Structure 1
């Protein structure tokens, strides 16, 4: 037998509806949004169609309403389990570089040769990216190539 869907909330903003839909899906509740495309394409039609409707199955209605009331009341404290595997910080993979002349870390990497990039764009109509791993120090102005 097909599940009956119940509208538990309506929104004038598609983004807000998607955020709460994601929260319910994270809790394992099957839900979908009604009239989201109409309101997304023509936001002024929101009043005419009754807004974006957040719908859940009839058997999950009570649990979904409880979650929404927690979120909208500002008392939601969702505790995550400790068995989640988090991604390592990106800074561990980035090698710290400093200027060899002044020792400053206020540097920038130039990945493309700007001269070749500009000339190829003028002559060919599209840029040809020749890789050139050069660094520039903003404190002393020193340029050097990566080894």
Structure 2
């Protein structure tokens, strides 16, 4: 059996959610380097993150399902500033906490704090912490 890398992740939660969704659709897949990244997150970039491996005969279907998942996620989080759907959940270096984390890591060695993540609109550049709550139209 030959497997190919479909995509990579920087954390195990996103990787497992994607893996579970694909397995529910009958895709034969597994996570490579999950234990290494989970035990020592500092090695994430060095080993290329957690790799979602998919059987070569199912790569095309899995890629389509992954694209559909991403489109659904983007539609669920429109930009509150310009209503664009070109929004992603990213790590930002603009927050003071990230610089403090980098300094702490430098001083204390292997100790690192979690980076600050925000939703970023690639159309207008607006950043926000949480998507706006949608009103229930059935009420």
TM-score, scaled relative to structure 2: 0.51
SS of alignment partner, residue 61 of structure 2: helix
Q: Which runs of 5+ in 2 are unaligned?
A: 75-139
C-alpha root-mean-square deviation of aligned residues, in Å? 1.4
1:55-111 per-residue CA deviation (whole Å, 9 max, x = no partner) reads 0100000000000001012279xxxxxxxxxxxxxxxxxxxxxxxxxxxxxxxxxxx
Runs of 4+ in 1 over 2 A off after TM superposition: none
Match among 14, 17, 38 for residue 16 of structure 1: 14
Q: Which runs of 5+ in 1 are unaligned?
A: 77-147
Equivalent pairs counted in the alignment come to: 74
SS of alignment partner, residue 26 of structure 2: coil
Query: Relative CO higher for 1 or 2, CA cutoff 8 Å, sep ≥ 6?
Result: 2
| 1:73 equivalent in alignment to 2:68 | no
Determine the structure 1 residue equivalent to 2:23: 25
Query: Larger % of helix: which?
Result: 2
Distance in 2 between residues matched to 1:25 and 1:73, nearest whole Å = 19
Whichever of the two has the greater Rg, that structure is: 1
Match among 20, 29, 45 for residue 47 of structure 1: 45
Determine the structure 2 residue equivalent to 1:82: none
